[in-house]
Amino acid sequence: MSQSFDVIVIGAGPGGYVAAIRAAQLGFNTACIDEFKNKEGKASLGGTCLNVGCIPSKALLESSENVERVEHKFASHGITVEGMKFDVGTMLARKEGIVSKLTQGIGYLFKKNKVASLHGHGKILGRNGDKWQVEVTDGDKVEVVETTHIILATGSTPRQLPQAPVDNVLVLDNEGALSIPAVPKRLGVIGAGVIGLEMGSVWKRLGSEVTILEGAPGFLLAADEAIAKEAHKIFTKDLGLIIKTSLKIGNITKGENDVTVEYTDAEGNAFTEVFDKLIVSIGRLPNTWNLAAESVGLPLDERGYVIVDGDCRTSLPNLWAVGDVVRGPMLAHKASEEGVAVAERIAGQHPHIDFNNVPWVIYTSPEMAWVGKTEQALKAEGVEYKKGQFPFGPNGRALGLGETAGFVKMLACAKTDRILGVHIIGPFASELITEAVVAMEFNASAEDIARIVHAHPSLAEAMHEAALGCDKRGLHS
Ligand code: FAD
Ligand code: NAI
Protein backbone atom coordinates (compact mmCIF):
# COMPACT_ATOMS: atom_id res chain seq x y z
CA MET A 1 0.00 0.00 0.00
CA SER A 2 1.64 3.26 -1.11
CA GLN A 3 1.87 6.27 1.19
CA SER A 4 -0.98 8.70 0.61
CA PHE A 5 -0.91 12.46 1.17
CA ASP A 6 -3.22 15.45 0.80
CA VAL A 7 -0.46 17.60 -0.68
CA ILE A 8 2.83 16.65 -2.31
CA VAL A 9 5.30 19.39 -3.12
CA ILE A 10 8.01 18.56 -5.66
CA GLY A 11 11.09 20.70 -4.94
CA ALA A 12 12.33 21.99 -1.58
CA GLY A 13 13.60 25.42 -2.63
CA PRO A 14 12.06 28.61 -1.22
CA GLY A 15 8.90 28.00 -3.28
CA GLY A 16 8.50 24.36 -2.28
CA TYR A 17 9.63 24.15 1.33
CA VAL A 18 7.55 27.18 2.30
CA ALA A 19 4.50 25.78 0.47
CA ALA A 20 4.94 22.47 2.32
CA ILE A 21 5.20 24.13 5.73
CA ARG A 22 2.14 26.31 5.08
CA ALA A 23 0.13 23.32 3.79
CA ALA A 24 1.02 21.35 6.92
CA GLN A 25 0.10 24.33 9.13
CA LEU A 26 -3.30 24.34 7.46
CA GLY A 27 -3.85 20.75 8.50
CA PHE A 28 -2.92 18.88 5.31
CA ASN A 29 -0.96 15.65 5.42
CA THR A 30 2.00 16.93 3.39
CA ALA A 31 5.17 15.53 1.81
CA CYS A 32 8.00 17.36 0.05
CA ILE A 33 10.14 15.54 -2.52
CA ASP A 34 13.58 16.91 -3.37
CA GLU A 35 16.53 15.44 -5.24
CA PHE A 36 19.29 17.99 -4.53
CA LYS A 37 22.58 16.60 -3.23
CA ASN A 38 25.47 18.78 -2.06
CA LYS A 39 29.14 18.32 -2.99
CA GLU A 40 29.50 15.62 -0.34
CA GLY A 41 26.69 13.72 -2.04
CA LYS A 42 24.31 14.37 0.88
CA ALA A 43 20.67 15.36 0.46
CA SER A 44 20.36 19.06 1.26
CA LEU A 45 17.06 20.92 1.45
CA GLY A 46 16.59 24.57 0.39
CA GLY A 47 17.01 24.30 -3.39
CA THR A 48 19.11 26.65 -5.46
CA CYS A 49 18.55 29.55 -3.09
CA LEU A 50 20.03 28.06 0.05
CA ASN A 51 22.58 25.68 -1.48
CA VAL A 52 24.04 27.43 -4.52
CA GLY A 53 22.26 30.78 -4.90
CA CYS A 54 21.06 33.60 -2.69
CA ILE A 55 22.63 32.55 0.60
CA PRO A 56 26.16 31.48 -0.40
CA SER A 57 26.49 34.42 -2.81
CA LYS A 58 25.62 36.91 -0.08
CA ALA A 59 28.13 35.26 2.28
CA LEU A 60 30.94 35.65 -0.27
CA LEU A 61 29.86 39.19 -1.17
CA GLU A 62 30.22 40.15 2.51
CA SER A 63 33.67 38.51 2.82
CA SER A 64 34.93 40.28 -0.28
CA GLU A 65 33.47 43.60 0.89
CA ASN A 66 35.38 43.22 4.13
CA VAL A 67 38.58 42.88 2.12
CA GLU A 68 37.64 46.02 0.22
CA ARG A 69 36.90 47.87 3.47
CA VAL A 70 40.30 46.99 4.93
CA GLU A 71 42.13 47.81 1.69
CA HIS A 72 40.36 51.03 0.73
CA LYS A 73 37.93 52.28 3.36
CA PHE A 74 39.47 51.90 6.81
CA ALA A 75 42.22 54.45 6.16
CA SER A 76 39.75 57.35 6.27
CA HIS A 77 38.84 56.25 9.82
CA GLY A 78 42.52 56.41 10.75
CA ILE A 79 42.76 52.62 10.77
CA THR A 80 45.66 51.11 8.90
CA VAL A 81 46.24 47.41 8.55
CA GLU A 82 49.77 46.43 7.67
CA GLY A 83 50.26 43.29 5.59
CA MET A 84 46.56 42.47 5.26
CA LYS A 85 46.02 38.86 4.24
CA PHE A 86 42.95 36.88 3.39
CA ASP A 87 42.32 33.22 2.89
CA VAL A 88 39.84 32.12 0.22
CA GLY A 89 39.57 28.68 1.85
CA THR A 90 38.30 30.24 5.08
CA MET A 91 35.81 32.38 3.15
CA LEU A 92 34.48 29.31 1.34
CA ALA A 93 34.27 27.34 4.59
CA ARG A 94 32.39 30.19 6.29
CA LYS A 95 29.98 30.27 3.35
CA GLU A 96 29.47 26.49 3.56
CA GLY A 97 28.86 26.78 7.31
CA ILE A 98 26.06 29.30 6.71
CA VAL A 99 24.57 27.09 3.99
CA SER A 100 24.59 24.00 6.16
CA LYS A 101 23.07 25.85 9.13
CA LEU A 102 20.15 27.06 7.01
CA THR A 103 19.61 23.86 5.00
CA GLN A 104 19.58 21.78 8.19
CA GLY A 105 17.15 24.32 9.61
CA ILE A 106 14.64 23.33 6.96
CA GLY A 107 14.89 19.69 8.06
CA TYR A 108 14.08 20.90 11.56
CA LEU A 109 11.11 22.98 10.31
CA PHE A 110 9.80 19.97 8.36
CA LYS A 111 9.93 17.81 11.50
CA LYS A 112 8.32 20.52 13.61
CA ASN A 113 5.47 20.90 11.11
CA LYS A 114 5.21 17.15 10.39
CA VAL A 115 6.09 17.50 6.70
CA ALA A 116 7.33 14.15 5.34
CA SER A 117 10.65 14.74 3.58
CA LEU A 118 11.19 12.31 0.69
CA HIS A 119 14.56 12.30 -1.04
CA GLY A 120 14.71 11.57 -4.77
CA HIS A 121 13.51 12.61 -8.19
CA GLY A 122 9.77 13.21 -8.34
CA LYS A 123 7.82 12.31 -11.45
CA ILE A 124 4.07 12.53 -11.98
CA LEU A 125 2.84 9.22 -13.37
CA GLY A 126 -0.83 10.06 -13.83
CA ARG A 127 -4.18 9.88 -12.07
CA ASN A 128 -5.83 6.99 -10.31
CA GLY A 129 -9.41 8.04 -9.52
CA ASP A 130 -9.19 11.39 -7.76
CA LYS A 131 -5.56 10.89 -6.70
CA TRP A 132 -2.30 11.71 -8.43
CA GLN A 133 0.40 9.02 -8.53
CA VAL A 134 3.95 10.30 -8.06
CA GLU A 135 7.09 8.22 -8.47
CA VAL A 136 10.09 9.01 -6.25
CA THR A 137 13.41 7.63 -7.48
CA ASP A 138 16.54 7.68 -5.35
CA GLY A 139 19.22 5.57 -7.02
CA ASP A 140 17.85 2.01 -7.17
CA LYS A 141 15.06 2.82 -4.76
CA VAL A 142 11.74 3.55 -6.46
CA GLU A 143 8.59 4.36 -4.53
CA VAL A 144 5.15 5.42 -5.77
CA VAL A 145 3.16 7.73 -3.51
CA GLU A 146 -0.28 9.23 -4.03
CA THR A 147 -1.76 12.60 -3.29
CA THR A 148 -4.81 14.78 -3.84
CA HIS A 149 -2.84 17.94 -4.72
CA ILE A 150 0.58 18.45 -6.28
CA ILE A 151 2.55 21.68 -6.06
CA LEU A 152 5.42 21.78 -8.56
CA ALA A 153 8.31 23.90 -7.26
CA THR A 154 11.18 22.40 -9.21
CA GLY A 155 13.00 25.68 -9.83
CA SER A 156 15.55 26.36 -12.50
CA THR A 157 19.03 25.51 -13.70
CA PRO A 158 21.62 27.65 -15.50
CA ARG A 159 21.32 28.11 -19.24
CA GLN A 160 24.51 26.96 -20.94
CA LEU A 161 26.32 28.10 -24.05
CA PRO A 162 26.42 25.19 -26.52
CA GLN A 163 30.04 25.96 -27.40
CA ALA A 164 31.17 25.88 -23.75
CA PRO A 165 29.50 23.21 -21.60
CA VAL A 166 29.95 23.88 -17.89
CA ASP A 167 32.59 21.68 -16.21
CA ASN A 168 32.88 23.79 -13.06
CA VAL A 169 36.66 23.64 -13.43
CA LEU A 170 37.31 26.15 -16.21
CA VAL A 171 33.78 27.00 -17.36
CA LEU A 172 31.64 27.73 -14.33
CA ASP A 173 27.95 28.15 -13.60
CA ASN A 174 26.70 29.67 -10.32
CA GLU A 175 27.77 26.58 -8.38
CA GLY A 176 31.34 26.78 -9.66
CA ALA A 177 31.47 30.57 -9.37
CA LEU A 178 30.69 30.23 -5.65
CA SER A 179 33.50 27.74 -5.06
CA ILE A 180 36.59 28.94 -6.95
CA PRO A 181 39.39 27.62 -4.69
CA ALA A 182 41.93 30.40 -5.40
CA VAL A 183 41.58 33.89 -6.86
CA PRO A 184 41.88 33.58 -10.67
CA LYS A 185 44.16 36.19 -12.23
CA ARG A 186 41.92 36.72 -15.26
CA LEU A 187 38.21 36.04 -14.82
CA GLY A 188 35.82 36.19 -17.76
CA VAL A 189 32.07 36.46 -17.22
CA ILE A 190 29.53 36.01 -19.99
CA GLY A 191 26.32 37.90 -19.16
CA ALA A 192 26.19 41.21 -17.25
CA GLY A 193 23.02 40.21 -15.40
CA VAL A 194 22.48 39.71 -11.70
CA ILE A 195 24.83 36.74 -11.22
CA GLY A 196 27.51 38.23 -13.47
CA LEU A 197 27.57 41.47 -11.48
CA GLU A 198 27.38 39.87 -8.03
CA MET A 199 30.00 37.19 -8.74
CA GLY A 200 32.14 39.54 -10.83
CA SER A 201 32.20 41.96 -7.86
CA VAL A 202 33.25 39.23 -5.42
CA TRP A 203 36.23 38.07 -7.43
CA LYS A 204 37.24 41.58 -8.55
CA ARG A 205 37.39 42.71 -4.92
CA LEU A 206 39.53 39.67 -4.11
CA GLY A 207 41.99 40.63 -6.85
CA SER A 208 40.90 39.15 -10.19
CA GLU A 209 40.92 41.18 -13.37
CA VAL A 210 37.28 40.77 -14.33
CA THR A 211 35.90 41.23 -17.85
CA ILE A 212 32.16 40.94 -18.34
CA LEU A 213 30.97 40.20 -21.87
CA GLU A 214 27.34 41.10 -22.50
CA GLY A 215 25.25 40.36 -25.56
CA ALA A 216 22.53 42.97 -25.08
CA PRO A 217 22.95 46.46 -26.52
CA GLY A 218 22.92 48.07 -23.08
CA PHE A 219 23.56 47.53 -19.41
CA LEU A 220 20.97 46.30 -16.86
CA LEU A 221 18.10 46.94 -19.24
CA ALA A 222 15.46 45.80 -16.70
CA ALA A 223 16.52 48.45 -14.19
CA ASP A 224 15.52 52.11 -14.17
CA GLU A 225 17.85 53.88 -16.62
CA ALA A 226 19.18 56.29 -13.98
CA ILE A 227 20.08 53.37 -11.68
CA ALA A 228 21.73 51.42 -14.52
CA LYS A 229 23.76 54.50 -15.54
CA GLU A 230 24.95 55.17 -11.99
CA ALA A 231 25.75 51.48 -11.44
CA HIS A 232 27.74 51.29 -14.67
CA LYS A 233 29.79 54.33 -13.62
CA ILE A 234 30.51 52.93 -10.14
CA PHE A 235 31.27 49.38 -11.32
CA THR A 236 33.62 50.45 -14.10
CA LYS A 237 35.30 53.58 -12.64
CA ASP A 238 35.41 52.75 -8.91
CA LEU A 239 35.41 48.96 -8.75
CA GLY A 240 37.29 48.47 -12.02
CA LEU A 241 35.07 45.89 -13.70
CA ILE A 242 35.54 45.83 -17.47
CA ILE A 243 32.05 45.66 -18.97
CA LYS A 244 31.59 45.29 -22.72
CA THR A 245 28.11 45.27 -24.27
CA SER A 246 26.56 44.52 -27.71
CA LEU A 247 28.80 41.50 -28.23
CA LYS A 248 28.30 38.28 -30.11
CA ILE A 249 30.10 35.42 -28.44
CA GLY A 250 31.78 33.05 -30.91
CA ASN A 251 34.06 30.06 -30.31
CA ILE A 252 35.11 29.19 -26.80
CA THR A 253 38.10 26.88 -26.53
CA LYS A 254 39.27 25.20 -23.37
CA GLY A 255 43.03 24.83 -22.87
CA GLU A 256 44.68 22.88 -20.07
CA ASN A 257 44.46 25.77 -17.59
CA ASP A 258 42.66 28.51 -19.45
CA VAL A 259 39.73 29.35 -21.70
CA THR A 260 39.88 31.36 -24.92
CA VAL A 261 36.78 33.35 -25.87
CA GLU A 262 36.29 34.81 -29.33
CA TYR A 263 33.69 37.53 -29.83
CA THR A 264 32.70 40.35 -32.13
CA ASP A 265 31.38 43.79 -31.19
CA ALA A 266 28.47 45.70 -32.75
CA GLU A 267 30.70 46.97 -35.56
CA GLY A 268 31.83 43.45 -36.42
CA ASN A 269 35.34 43.87 -34.97
CA ALA A 270 36.71 40.52 -33.80
CA PHE A 271 38.38 40.00 -30.42
CA THR A 272 40.02 37.11 -28.61
CA GLU A 273 40.55 36.99 -24.85
CA VAL A 274 42.10 34.36 -22.62
CA PHE A 275 40.79 33.77 -19.08
CA ASP A 276 41.86 31.49 -16.23
CA LYS A 277 38.19 30.88 -15.38
CA LEU A 278 35.01 31.70 -17.26
CA ILE A 279 31.65 32.18 -15.54
CA VAL A 280 28.64 31.70 -17.79
CA SER A 281 25.64 33.57 -16.33
CA ILE A 282 23.23 34.06 -19.21
CA GLY A 283 19.95 33.34 -17.47
CA ARG A 284 18.24 30.21 -16.19
CA LEU A 285 15.85 27.59 -17.54
CA PRO A 286 12.85 26.04 -15.76
CA ASN A 287 13.37 22.49 -14.43
CA THR A 288 10.82 20.25 -16.11
CA TRP A 289 13.06 17.42 -17.26
CA ASN A 290 11.40 14.02 -16.66
CA LEU A 291 8.87 15.70 -14.38
CA ALA A 292 5.77 14.02 -15.75
CA ALA A 293 4.94 11.00 -17.86
CA GLU A 294 4.04 12.05 -21.40
CA SER A 295 0.46 10.83 -20.91
CA VAL A 296 -0.01 13.45 -18.15
CA GLY A 297 0.20 16.27 -20.71
CA LEU A 298 1.96 18.72 -18.38
CA PRO A 299 1.19 22.12 -19.93
CA LEU A 300 4.44 23.87 -20.89
CA ASP A 301 4.93 27.07 -22.87
CA GLU A 302 7.39 27.40 -25.77
CA ARG A 303 10.22 28.30 -23.36
CA GLY A 304 9.56 25.29 -21.12
CA TYR A 305 7.79 27.04 -18.22
CA VAL A 306 4.81 25.29 -16.63
CA ILE A 307 1.74 27.25 -17.73
CA VAL A 308 -0.28 28.59 -14.80
CA ASP A 309 -2.92 31.24 -14.27
CA GLY A 310 -2.55 34.19 -11.90
CA ASP A 311 -3.34 31.85 -8.99
CA CYS A 312 -0.56 29.35 -9.96
CA ARG A 313 -3.15 26.81 -11.12
CA THR A 314 -2.37 24.62 -14.14
CA SER A 315 -5.10 23.39 -16.48
CA LEU A 316 -4.88 19.90 -14.85
CA PRO A 317 -6.96 19.09 -11.75
CA ASN A 318 -5.32 19.91 -8.40
CA LEU A 319 -1.96 20.51 -10.07
CA TRP A 320 -0.27 23.78 -9.13
CA ALA A 321 3.16 25.28 -9.87
CA VAL A 322 5.17 28.07 -8.21
CA GLY A 323 8.55 29.80 -8.30
CA ASP A 324 11.19 29.71 -11.01
CA VAL A 325 9.38 26.96 -12.94
CA VAL A 326 6.55 29.39 -13.81
CA ARG A 327 6.36 32.86 -15.41
CA GLY A 328 7.57 35.96 -13.62
CA PRO A 329 10.84 36.98 -12.01
CA MET A 330 13.16 34.24 -10.77
CA LEU A 331 13.33 35.46 -7.19
CA ALA A 332 13.24 33.51 -3.94
CA HIS A 333 10.68 35.75 -2.22
CA LYS A 334 8.36 35.60 -5.23
CA ALA A 335 8.60 31.77 -5.12
CA SER A 336 7.86 31.65 -1.38
CA GLU A 337 4.85 33.96 -1.57
CA GLU A 338 3.42 31.91 -4.42
CA GLY A 339 3.96 28.74 -2.37
CA VAL A 340 2.10 30.18 0.62
CA ALA A 341 -0.71 31.46 -1.59
CA VAL A 342 -1.21 28.06 -3.26
CA ALA A 343 -1.34 26.21 0.09
CA GLU A 344 -3.93 28.73 1.30
CA ARG A 345 -5.94 28.43 -1.90
CA ILE A 346 -6.02 24.64 -1.50
CA ALA A 347 -7.44 25.32 1.98
CA GLY A 348 -10.21 27.43 0.43
CA GLN A 349 -8.71 30.79 1.37
CA HIS A 350 -8.38 33.76 -1.02
CA PRO A 351 -4.82 35.08 -0.86
CA HIS A 352 -3.59 37.73 -3.28
CA ILE A 353 -0.12 38.62 -4.56
CA ASP A 354 0.45 41.92 -6.34
CA PHE A 355 3.25 41.04 -8.77
CA ASN A 356 3.82 44.75 -9.46
CA ASN A 357 5.04 45.06 -5.88
CA VAL A 358 7.67 42.31 -5.91
CA PRO A 359 10.97 43.98 -4.98
CA TRP A 360 14.22 43.36 -6.86
CA VAL A 361 17.59 43.57 -5.16
CA ILE A 362 21.08 43.26 -6.61
CA TYR A 363 23.58 42.78 -3.79
CA THR A 364 26.55 44.54 -5.33
CA SER A 365 28.28 47.40 -3.54
CA PRO A 366 26.47 49.71 -3.60
CA GLU A 367 23.31 47.64 -3.62
CA MET A 368 20.49 48.28 -6.05
CA ALA A 369 16.83 47.73 -5.21
CA TRP A 370 13.60 48.67 -6.84
CA VAL A 371 9.87 48.08 -6.87
CA GLY A 372 7.13 49.10 -9.28
CA LYS A 373 7.54 50.90 -12.58
CA THR A 374 10.74 52.31 -14.02
CA GLU A 375 10.76 55.84 -15.43
CA GLN A 376 11.21 54.50 -18.97
CA ALA A 377 8.20 52.17 -18.54
CA LEU A 378 6.00 55.07 -17.37
CA LYS A 379 7.12 57.12 -20.39
CA ALA A 380 6.41 54.21 -22.75
CA GLU A 381 2.95 53.74 -21.20
CA GLY A 382 2.22 57.48 -21.48
CA VAL A 383 1.61 57.80 -17.74
CA GLU A 384 2.04 61.31 -16.37
CA TYR A 385 4.33 61.18 -13.36
CA LYS A 386 6.37 63.33 -11.04
CA LYS A 387 9.75 62.50 -9.64
CA GLY A 388 11.67 63.07 -6.44
CA GLN A 389 15.32 62.08 -6.16
CA PHE A 390 17.73 62.46 -3.25
CA PRO A 391 21.41 61.47 -3.13
CA PHE A 392 23.08 59.71 -0.20
CA GLY A 393 25.96 62.25 -0.41
CA PRO A 394 24.44 64.76 2.08
CA ASN A 395 22.79 62.06 4.27
CA GLY A 396 24.37 62.10 7.73
CA ARG A 397 24.13 58.36 8.31
CA ALA A 398 25.62 57.59 4.88
CA LEU A 399 28.50 59.98 5.62
CA GLY A 400 29.08 58.26 8.96
CA LEU A 401 29.12 54.90 7.22
CA GLY A 402 31.40 56.22 4.50
CA GLU A 403 28.93 54.96 1.90
CA THR A 404 27.71 58.04 0.07
CA ALA A 405 27.36 56.76 -3.50
CA GLY A 406 23.91 56.56 -5.05
CA PHE A 407 20.42 57.95 -4.52
CA VAL A 408 16.74 57.20 -3.91
CA LYS A 409 14.32 58.02 -6.71
CA MET A 410 10.57 58.02 -6.22
CA LEU A 411 8.04 58.15 -9.06
CA ALA A 412 4.46 59.16 -8.28
CA CYS A 413 1.33 59.67 -10.37
CA ALA A 414 1.07 63.31 -11.46
CA LYS A 415 -2.67 63.35 -10.81
CA THR A 416 -3.19 61.21 -7.70
CA ASP A 417 0.30 61.35 -6.10
CA ARG A 418 0.14 57.54 -5.70
CA ILE A 419 3.62 55.99 -5.64
CA LEU A 420 4.27 54.11 -8.89
CA GLY A 421 7.88 53.06 -8.42
CA VAL A 422 10.89 53.48 -6.14
CA HIS A 423 14.48 52.93 -7.29
CA ILE A 424 17.48 52.89 -5.01
CA ILE A 425 21.19 52.54 -5.52
CA GLY A 426 23.15 52.93 -2.34
CA PRO A 427 23.96 51.47 1.08
CA PHE A 428 21.49 48.90 2.42
CA ALA A 429 19.15 49.44 -0.53
CA SER A 430 17.96 45.86 0.16
CA GLU A 431 16.60 46.97 3.53
CA LEU A 432 15.39 50.43 2.49
CA ILE A 433 13.23 49.11 -0.33
CA THR A 434 10.81 47.48 2.12
CA GLU A 435 9.44 50.88 3.13
CA ALA A 436 8.52 51.46 -0.52
CA VAL A 437 7.00 47.97 -0.89
CA VAL A 438 4.82 48.48 2.19
CA ALA A 439 3.81 51.93 0.99
CA MET A 440 2.86 50.64 -2.46
CA GLU A 441 0.94 47.67 -1.01
CA PHE A 442 -1.14 50.20 0.94
CA ASN A 443 -1.54 52.41 -2.17
CA ALA A 444 0.31 55.19 -0.38
CA SER A 445 0.98 58.57 -1.95
CA ALA A 446 4.35 60.32 -1.97
CA GLU A 447 2.74 62.77 0.48
CA ASP A 448 2.12 59.87 2.91
CA ILE A 449 5.84 59.07 3.02
CA ALA A 450 6.67 62.77 3.20
CA ARG A 451 4.48 63.11 6.33
CA ILE A 452 5.82 60.03 8.14
CA VAL A 453 8.48 60.64 10.80
CA HIS A 454 11.77 59.06 9.73
CA ALA A 455 14.46 58.49 12.36
CA HIS A 456 17.49 60.75 12.29
CA PRO A 457 20.17 60.12 11.29
CA SER A 458 19.11 57.25 9.07
CA LEU A 459 19.50 56.17 5.47
CA ALA A 460 15.70 56.14 5.25
CA GLU A 461 15.79 59.93 5.40
CA ALA A 462 16.84 59.77 1.74
CA MET A 463 13.50 58.06 1.02
CA HIS A 464 11.73 60.81 2.98
CA GLU A 465 13.52 63.49 0.95
CA ALA A 466 12.73 61.71 -2.33
CA ALA A 467 9.06 61.75 -1.32
CA LEU A 468 9.25 65.46 -0.45
CA GLY A 469 10.97 65.96 -3.80
CA CYS A 470 7.89 64.64 -5.63
CA ASP A 471 6.16 67.81 -4.41
CA LYS A 472 9.28 69.94 -5.03
CA ARG A 473 9.62 70.71 -1.32
CA GLY A 474 12.81 68.85 -0.41
CA LEU A 475 14.27 70.26 2.80
CA HIS A 476 17.89 69.32 2.19
CA SER A 477 18.22 69.57 -1.59
P1 FAD B 1 14.79 26.21 -6.49
O2 FAD B 1 15.36 26.98 -5.39
O3 FAD B 1 15.59 26.06 -7.73
O4 FAD B 1 14.48 24.75 -5.88
C5 FAD B 1 14.01 23.72 -6.67
C6 FAD B 1 14.40 22.40 -6.02
O7 FAD B 1 13.70 21.35 -6.69
C8 FAD B 1 15.87 22.06 -6.13
O9 FAD B 1 16.34 21.56 -4.91
C10 FAD B 1 15.91 20.97 -7.20
O11 FAD B 1 16.99 20.08 -7.03
C12 FAD B 1 14.60 20.28 -6.94
N13 FAD B 1 14.05 19.53 -8.08
C14 FAD B 1 13.97 19.91 -9.38
N15 FAD B 1 13.32 18.98 -10.10
C16 FAD B 1 12.99 17.97 -9.23
C17 FAD B 1 12.30 16.74 -9.36
N18 FAD B 1 11.78 16.35 -10.51
N19 FAD B 1 12.17 15.96 -8.27
C20 FAD B 1 12.67 16.34 -7.06
N21 FAD B 1 13.31 17.51 -6.87
C22 FAD B 1 13.46 18.31 -7.95
N23 FAD B 1 16.84 35.27 -5.58
C24 FAD B 1 16.56 36.22 -4.68
O25 FAD B 1 15.39 36.53 -4.45
N26 FAD B 1 17.57 36.87 -4.00
C27 FAD B 1 18.88 36.58 -4.22
O28 FAD B 1 19.75 37.18 -3.60
C29 FAD B 1 19.19 35.57 -5.17
N30 FAD B 1 20.47 35.25 -5.40
C31 FAD B 1 20.75 34.25 -6.29
C32 FAD B 1 22.08 33.95 -6.53
C33 FAD B 1 22.41 32.97 -7.43
C34 FAD B 1 23.86 32.64 -7.69
C35 FAD B 1 21.36 32.24 -8.09
C36 FAD B 1 21.69 31.13 -9.04
C37 FAD B 1 20.04 32.53 -7.86
C38 FAD B 1 19.72 33.56 -6.96
N39 FAD B 1 18.40 33.92 -6.72
C40 FAD B 1 18.12 34.92 -5.84
C41 FAD B 1 17.28 33.24 -7.38
C42 FAD B 1 16.68 32.20 -6.43
O43 FAD B 1 17.68 31.29 -6.05
C44 FAD B 1 15.53 31.49 -7.12
O45 FAD B 1 14.59 32.41 -7.61
C46 FAD B 1 14.83 30.55 -6.13
O47 FAD B 1 15.74 29.60 -5.62
C48 FAD B 1 13.66 29.84 -6.80
O49 FAD B 1 13.05 29.00 -5.88
P50 FAD B 1 12.27 27.70 -6.31
O51 FAD B 1 11.73 27.12 -5.06
O52 FAD B 1 11.34 28.02 -7.41
O53 FAD B 1 13.36 26.73 -6.96
P1 NAI C 1 20.08 37.44 -15.93
O2 NAI C 1 18.87 37.24 -16.73
O3 NAI C 1 20.05 38.34 -14.76
O4 NAI C 1 21.24 37.99 -16.87
C5 NAI C 1 21.70 37.30 -17.99
C6 NAI C 1 22.49 38.27 -18.86
O7 NAI C 1 23.12 37.51 -19.85
C8 NAI C 1 21.58 39.29 -19.54
O9 NAI C 1 22.14 40.58 -19.38
C10 NAI C 1 21.58 38.83 -20.99
O11 NAI C 1 21.43 39.89 -21.91
C12 NAI C 1 22.94 38.17 -21.11
N13 NAI C 1 23.03 37.15 -22.14
C14 NAI C 1 22.12 36.19 -22.44
N15 NAI C 1 22.58 35.41 -23.44
C16 NAI C 1 23.81 35.87 -23.77
C17 NAI C 1 24.80 35.47 -24.70
N18 NAI C 1 24.61 34.42 -25.51
N19 NAI C 1 25.94 36.17 -24.76
C20 NAI C 1 26.16 37.23 -23.95
N21 NAI C 1 25.26 37.66 -23.04
C22 NAI C 1 24.11 36.98 -22.94
O23 NAI C 1 20.57 35.97 -15.56
P24 NAI C 1 21.62 35.43 -14.49
O25 NAI C 1 22.59 36.48 -14.09
O26 NAI C 1 22.12 34.17 -15.07
O27 NAI C 1 20.73 35.12 -13.24
C28 NAI C 1 19.58 34.29 -13.40
C29 NAI C 1 18.49 34.75 -12.51
O30 NAI C 1 18.79 34.40 -11.17
C31 NAI C 1 18.27 36.25 -12.47
O32 NAI C 1 17.47 36.69 -13.54
C33 NAI C 1 17.58 36.43 -11.18
O34 NAI C 1 16.21 36.19 -11.37
C35 NAI C 1 18.18 35.34 -10.31
N36 NAI C 1 19.18 35.94 -9.43
C37 NAI C 1 18.75 36.87 -8.52
C38 NAI C 1 19.65 37.49 -7.70
C39 NAI C 1 19.15 38.52 -6.76
O40 NAI C 1 17.95 38.61 -6.57
N41 NAI C 1 20.02 39.32 -6.15
C42 NAI C 1 21.08 37.16 -7.72
C43 NAI C 1 21.42 36.20 -8.75
C44 NAI C 1 20.48 35.62 -9.55
Q: What is the pLDDT of residues 441-452, one digit of tens each?
A: 999 999 999 999
For residue 249, what are the β-bridge partners?
263
Mean pLDDT over residues 351-365, rounded? 97
- Is any atom of ligand 2 closer than 6 Å to the C-beta of 91? no
Per DSSP, what are the bridge partners of residue 368? 362, 425
Q: What is the dihedral of CA 23, 24, 28, 29, to 10 degrees?
A: 130
CATH code, domain with 143: 3.50.50.60
Q: What percent of the chain has pLDDT over 90?
A: 99
Q: Tell me, yes or no, whether 166 lies in a domain.
A: no
Helix (H) or strand (E) holding 54: helix 54-68
Do residues 17 and 127 share a domain? yes
Q: Helix or strand or coil: residue 195? A: helix
- What SS3 class is residue 408? strand
Domain boundary among 320, 353, 386: 353
Residues 187 and 97 in one domain: no
- Is 420 inside any structural domain? yes
477 domain-assigned:
no
Q: Which of 9, 49, 178 to mutate to test the pocket of ligand 1 (most atoms within 8 A of CB)?
A: 49
User: At how many degrees (to 10) do helices 194-205 and 54-68 cross?
Assistant: 40
In a domain, 417, yes or no: yes
In a domain, 393, yes or no: yes
* Domain match, 113 and 138 both: yes
Domain that holds residue 444: 358-470
pLDDT digits (tens, 9 = 90+) for 386-400: 999 999 999 999 999
Q: What is the mean pLDDT of residues 206-217?
A: 98
Question: Does one domain contain both 65 and 109?
Answer: yes
* Ligand 2 centroid – CA 245 distance (Å): 14
Is 460 a residue whose pLDDT tops 70?
yes
The pLDDT score that the predictor gives to residue 290 is 97
Which of 244, 266, 282 lies at the terminal end of a domain, its last residue? Answer: 282
Query: CA geometry: angle at 331 spanning 328 and 337, to 5°?
Result: 80
Residue 280, classed as helix, strand or coil, is strand
pLDDT at 1 > cutoff 70: no
Question: What CATH number is attached to the domain comprising 402?
Answer: 3.30.390.30
Q: Which of 178, 281, 355 to mutate to test the pocket of ligand 2 (most atoms within 8 A of CB)?
A: 281
Do 65 and 203 belong together in one domain? Answer: no
CB of 261 closer than 6 A to ligand 2?
A: no
Last residue of a domain, one of 310, 336, 353: 353
255 has a pLDDT exceeding 80: yes
Residues 362 and 436 in one domain: yes
Within a domain: 164: no
Q: What is the mean pLDDT of the chain?
A: 97
271 and 373 within one domain: no
Residue 263 carries which DSSP code?
E
Q: Is residue 192 part of a domain?
A: yes
Are residues 251 and 344 both part of a single domain? no
CA 246 to ligand 2 centroid distance, Å? 15
Residue 371 has pLDDT above 80, yes or no: yes
138 falls within a domain: yes
Q: Which residue's CA is the closest to the ligand 2 atom numbered 17?
A: 215
Task: Assess contact for 202 and 61: CB atoms under 8 A.
Answer: yes
- Which ligand sits closest to the CA of 38? 1
Mean per-residue pLDDT, 163-187: 97
Tell whether 277 and 315 lie within a shared domain.
no
Ligand 1 nearest-atom number relative to CA 291: 18
Query: Percentage of the chain surpassing pLDDT 70?
Result: 100
Q: In the predicted model, what is the mean pLDDT of residues 322-344? A: 98
Closest ligand to residue 370's CA: 2
Angle, helix 461-470 to helix 429-441, in steps of 10 degrees: 50
Tell me how far apart the alpha carbons of residues 446 and 413 are, in angstroms, rounded to a whole number. Answer: 9
The tally of domains found in the chain comes to 3
Confidence of residue 2 (pLDDT cuts 50, 70, 90): confident
Residue 220 sits in the same domain as residue 259: yes
Q: For position 88, what pLDDT does the model report?
A: 98
Tell me which residue of 387, 393, 414 sits closest to 469, measured CA to CA. Answer: 387
Within this chain, do residues 122 and 58 fall inside the same structural domain, yes or no? yes
